[in-house]
Structures are given as structure tokens and as C-alpha cells.
Chains A and B, each alone.
Chain A
Amino acid sequence: MDPDRELVDRARDGSQEAFADLVRRYQVRVFNLARVSTRNDADAEDLAQEIFIRVHRGLRAFRGDSAFRTWLYRIAVNASRTQAGRPSLFGWFRRVEPEEVGGVDPLQALPAADAVEDSVAYREAIDHALGRLSRDLRMAVTLRDIDGLEYREIAEVLGVPIGTVMSRISRGREKLRPILAEALGWTDGARSGRAE
């Protein structure tokens, strides 16, 4: 049973409150997915708004063959693909590569020790690392490790076989490891868990 079913039905019947509830329920997930794609908050908000507008437009056509969440993520992934090529002023400022800003890599600028997991810099570093992956790998890893979707659901969202999802996630994590290892001070033999 889809936990969103009742809200979706009411929203489809024109209830603004029900749609607002759906937005509030998924805004954090959608905004963060958008943020991983855009790598800045301003563009992420634009993209997240666009996603919800597409959801609203598509509600009448939504038959409930898949869960609402799966359908929402499919729209979000498609919107992210469309949005990816659009430059923005803010994005232009933020997408400057580390080498171009005096060699200061955001991953290198992480705060050390225990506070790292709680910090904004940690999130920035993760998003920056994810941004280095190809879109296919980034989406697979993000949907699994950031959004916590099941493999079957990811396969449905991305429209690929489940084996491809596993392969993309596995390879995506492999590519992320050296980037994060350098930033977080992992030892070569094993991950220390926290920056030393």
C-alpha cells in the first residue's frame, strides 16, 4: 500500500492542502537530490520547484502503477538531466574548479576530527565528490546512499535493469573512495572512520 495514496488522491481532486502536504513531505529529499546535481542552493531551489511543478501537472495522469515516491523520483531525475546543461550565474561562481582558486580544494579544507560529520563542510565535500562522477553513476549512488531507495526502486526510477543499478553503485563508490580518502584522511590499509 502506497503511504502517499490518500494525499495523492486528494491532491488530484484539487486539494491545495493535500498537495502542500506532499511538498512538505518530500521537499528535503527533492531539494537535496537537486543540490547534488547543481552543487549550490540557489540552483537547487529552482530545480526543486520545477520538479514539484511537474509533479503537480502530472498528477492527473498518475495512475498509481508505481508508488508515488518512485514516480516523484523519476520526475526529479529527468528534471535534473534537463537542468544540468543550463548555466546560472550562481552556478558559474560555484563551479570554479579547485585548481582555479589557488589550489584550495574544498575537500582539503574540511575541518578535522570529530566535528567533521556535523559540519556543512562535510556535506559540501560529499556533494563536491559526487559531482565528479558521471551523471549515471552519481544518480545511482545518490539514490542509494543519500536517499536510501531500494535497488528495485532505483531500477524503476532510472529505467535500467537492477543488475545495472548494482554495477553503477559499485563503480560509483569505487571512484568516490580515493577522493574521499584524501579529504577525510583515511589510511591506505583501512578506513579510519573519522579524520585523524
Chain B
Amino acid sequence: MLTCETAESLIAREVDGLLRDDESVALDAHAESCGACRGLRRANLDVARALALRIDAPVPGGFAARVAARVHPGESLGWMDAINWRRWTEWMLPVAAALLMVAIVAGNRSATTATGDVEVAASESTAAATDILAWTGEGDAATALSALSADVSSEDVLAQMLGTSAAGTEGQSDGR
């Protein structure tokens, strides 16, 4: 009769089909009366089959070249192979996180500044229109502002308010 210790060794070998007939018969007899070894036997069969289905992880590209470069330092290595991309990516994580934080902070600050700039630009535009009105003594502020907001040149605005065309003004100046 087998001991559980001997049965343990036989069970491991049984998975690989390495048992002799007499060993197999002895193991069957032992397992019949020993629940622990029955469980062990089933576990061994199940797990060995499951592990046999594991597909190997692929080796990272350029691995052999990187090993060669380390054991033969003088050997030239293409820059693509020289970089351990996984490791590089790993160490870039904190840098990327820091850059992201900087970008977020900078984005918030520039948004605030941009809002201020728009307000300043608007007040400057209004002041410019008021100056034009004061200079010409006619027209209305709405016309001046709409002209400014439509991205029209200052010469066009003046021409519109004086009731003349820019071309005409040019013609007059050319005639002089």
C-alpha cells in the first residue's frame, strides 16, 4: 500500500504519462481510499492542462540587439533598437503626469488672462469709436462700433462717417 508521500510523487509524474503500469495500479488503489490524494490527483491533471494552454508572451522587439549591445559595448545599435520602449515609457509616466499638471495650470491661467484681454480690447475699441465721433462731429457710436467689430480698416470707418469712399479720397490725393 502506498503512503501519501509516495502517492504525491506518482501523481506529479502521472500527468506526464510517466507511470509504469504497476505504479498506476497502486496509485488507483490508494486514491480509492484517500480523499486527499484524490483531490491532489484531480488538481494536478486540471492545472497541468490549464498551464499547457498558456501562450508565451512575445519578446519585446529589438531584445536580442539590446543584449548584444550590452555584452559587446562597441557594437553599433540602431536607435530604434537601442531604446527599451517599455522601460522608457515607464519612466516617462511621472514626467508626462507633471507636464499634464503644468498644462492644466497654464491653461487655467491663460483663460483668465484672455478674458481680461478681451475686456481691455473692448474698452479700447469703444474709446477709439468715441474719439472718431468727437473728431468728425457726426455719425453715431453704433455705426462706428459695428464697423470696428466687422474688422474694417480705420480708413473705411473714416470714409463711411465722412460720406466719402476710400477710393475717392485716394483719387483726390492722387490728383494733388
**In the complex the two chains form, what is the Cα distance from A177 to B38 in whole Å?**
13
- The residue on A at minimum CB distance from B89 is A42
Residues on the B chain within 8 Å of A127, using CB? 54
Q: Decide if B82 is an interface residue (CB 8 Å cutoff).
A: no
Are B59 and A177 interface neighbours, CB within 8 A? no
Residues on the B chain within 8 Å of A173, using CB? 12, 15, 43-44, 46-48
Residues on the B chain within 8 Å of A180, using CB? 46-47, 50
- The residue on A at minimum CB distance from B60 is A45
Residues on the A chain within 8 Å of B60, using CB? 31, 41, 45
Per the CB 8 Å criterion, the residue count for chain A at the interface is: 51
Q: Decide if B56 is an interface residue (CB 8 Å cutoff).
A: yes
Pick out which of these stretches binds chain A: B66-74, B98-106, B127-135, B157-165.
B66-74
**In the complex the two chains form, what is the Cα distance from A111 to B110 in whole Å?**
46
Number of A-B contacts (CB under 8 A): 136
Are B44 and A174 interface neighbours, CB within 8 A? yes
Q: Decide if A146 is an interface residue (CB 8 Å cutoff).
A: yes
- Is chain A's binding surface mostly helix, strand, loop or mixed? helix
Shortest CB distance A122–B (Å): 7
Shortest CB distance B85–A (Å): 9
Q: Decide if A186 is an interface residue (CB 8 Å cutoff).
A: yes
Interface string of B11-52 (1 = CB under 8 A from A): 111010000000000000000000000011011111111111
Knowing A20-B68, A53-B71, A173-B43, say if A27 contacts B59 (CB, 8 Å). yes
Knowing A20-B68, A174-B39, say if A169 contacts B54 (CB, 8 Å). no
Residues on the B chain within 8 Å of A117, using CB? 53, 55
- Is chain B's binding surface mostly helix, strand, loop or mixed? helix
Are B47 and A177 interface neighbours, CB within 8 A? yes
Are B84 and A16 interface neighbours, CB within 8 A? no
Q: Decide if A62 is an interface residue (CB 8 Å cutoff).
A: no
Shortest CB distance B68–A (Å): 6
Interface residues of A (CB under 8 A from B): 16, 19-20, 23-24, 27-28, 31-32, 35, 41-42, 44-46, 48-49, 52-53, 56, 88-90, 117-118, 122-123, 126-127, 141, 144-146, 151, 163, 166-167, 169-171, 173-174, 176-177, 180-181, 184, 186, 190-191, 193
24 contacts between A and B (CB under 8 A): A28-B56, A31-B59, A31-B63, A41-B57, A41-B60, A46-B87, A49-B63, A53-B67, A89-B93, A90-B86, A123-B55, A144-B12, A145-B47, A145-B52, A151-B13, A166-B8, A170-B8, A170-B11, A170-B12, A173-B43, A173-B48, A174-B47, A177-B42, A181-B46
